[in-house]
Every structure is written in C-alpha cells, then in structure tokens.
C-alpha cells in the first residue's frame, strides 16, 4: 500500500544553468540531493524550453532568469559545464545580475565546476576563498579571488565546488549554509 505523506518543504533552491551544455550530473544529481532532503528546486536559464546538457541529458526550463523573484528562494546555485565557457556566462549581464541580486539579498550562493567564474565576474569573490574547475583558476585569480585547491570551499554564504566529483559535499555545504 502506497502512502501519500507530504514531504515537509524546508526551503526553495534556484538552480541556474547555461542555455546549452550544462554539466548533466551537476544539475541532476545535485537537484536530486536537494529534493531528497526536503528542498524544492526550480531550474532557470537565459533560455526557456528544452535545454540540453553536455552529456545528453535535457530539462525543460519554464522561467528565464529575467523573470525570477529571488525573494522566493533560500539559495541560488549556478551549475557548471562547458556551456559556462561557450556562452561566456561570466560576462553575461543577466547571469551576473542574478548573482549580484542574490548577494544583495544575502542568499546562500553556490557555484560548481566552471560556474564560480560567474561569481568572480560579478565581483563577488574579490578577497574571498573559492575553488573552481582547474580551467577557471586563472580567471578567478584575475578577479581577486583567493583560489583554494579543495573540492569544496565555503566562505560565508558563498559555496564553490570544483566539479562533478564534489557534488555530494557541495550539495551538503549548500544545505548546511541555508540552515545557518
């Protein structure tokens, strides 16, 4: 017999992806961990409709980042993948603006793989400890971040992860930061 117990929603997490070539497991596995732990998730991008990941997965995005009400979310998580570089998201005014508004609202902000470059591009990692996928290290340093060679780095309400191998630790750090 199936029970229809309602899961208590602890909060809402906005997950932000590139308009193509996001890193599949960084979205899907992280999203699953959040949801299994009682967080509702919403995925957004600069494009709507079906968005394809770098490894063949896809997701339907209904709201673009220009139409997001950040007051509805406890955390904003930027997903990495080659789409970050392909679309130069660390120079995209919409992505930078979303990161800056999330910071202004003192939200927990996570970024994994190449996505910490978005936070650096928004000027949010200056003098902050952070990690990134190796290819983004030089960019973070050029924007004044203090690169730390670890899987996951937490500096106040900024959580950065260096890639798919860090998903579990990254997701746990984001959820822990929301609670604090």
Tens-place pLDDT, residues 94-129: 999 999 999 999 999 999 999 999 999 999 999 999
Determine the pLDDT at residue 45.
98
Look up residue 24 and give its two tokens: 């599949």
Task: Look at residue 36 and tell me whether its pLDDT is greater than 80.
Answer: yes
In a domain, residue 142? The reply is yes
In a domain, residue 6? The reply is no
CA torsion, ordered 61, 94, 19, 125, to nearest 10 deg: -110
| H or E segment to which residue 94 belongs | helix 93-104
In a domain, residue 4? The reply is no
Q: What's the CATH code of the domain at 85?
A: 3.40.50.880
Question: How many Å apart are CA 162 and CA 115, to the nearest integer?
Answer: 9
In a domain, residue 57? The reply is yes
| H or E segment to which residue 52 belongs | strand 49-52
Angle at 41 between CA 157 and CA 155, to 5 degrees: 10
Query: 112 and 80 in contact (C-beta within 8 Å)?
Result: yes
Determine the pLDDT at residue 78.
98
117 is in which domain, residue-wise?
Answer: 11-179
In a domain, residue 68? The reply is yes
Sorting pLDDT into bands at 50, 70 and 90, what band is 179?
confident
Query: 71 and 173 in contact (C-beta within 8 Å)?
Result: no
In a domain, residue 95? The reply is yes
Determine the pLDDT at residue 3.
47
Sorting pLDDT into bands at 50, 70 and 90, what band is 147?
very high
Helix (DSSP H) and strand (DSSP E) numbers for the chain? 6, 11
pTM: 0.95
In a domain, residue 96? The reply is yes
In a domain, residue 165? The reply is yes
Total domains in the fold of the chain: 1
Task: Look at residue 6 and tell me whether its pLDDT is greater than 90.
Answer: no
């Amino acid at each position: 017999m199936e029970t229809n117990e309602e899961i208590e929603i602890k909060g809402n997490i906005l997950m932000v992806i590139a308009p193509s070539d996001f890193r599949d497991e960084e979205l899907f596995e992280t999203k699953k961990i959040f949801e299994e732990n009682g967080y509702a998730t919403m995925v957004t991008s600069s494009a709507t409709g079906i968005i394809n990941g770098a490894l063949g997965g896809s997701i339907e995005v209904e709201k673009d980042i220009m139409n997001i009400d950040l007051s509805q979310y406890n955390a904003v998580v930027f997903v990495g993948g080659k789409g970050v570089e392909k679309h130069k998201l660390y120079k995209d005014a919409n992505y930078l603006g979303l990161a800056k508004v999330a910071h202004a609202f003192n939200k927990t902000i996570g970024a994994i793989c190449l996505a910490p470059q978005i936070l650096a591009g928004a000027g949010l990692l200056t003098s902050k400890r952070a990690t990134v996928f190796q290819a983004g290290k030089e960019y973070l340093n050029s924007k004044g971040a203090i690169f730390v060679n670890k899987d996951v780095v937490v500096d106040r309400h900024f959580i950065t992860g260096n890639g798919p191998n860090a998903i579990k630790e990254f997701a746990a750090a984001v959820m822990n930061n929301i609670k604090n």
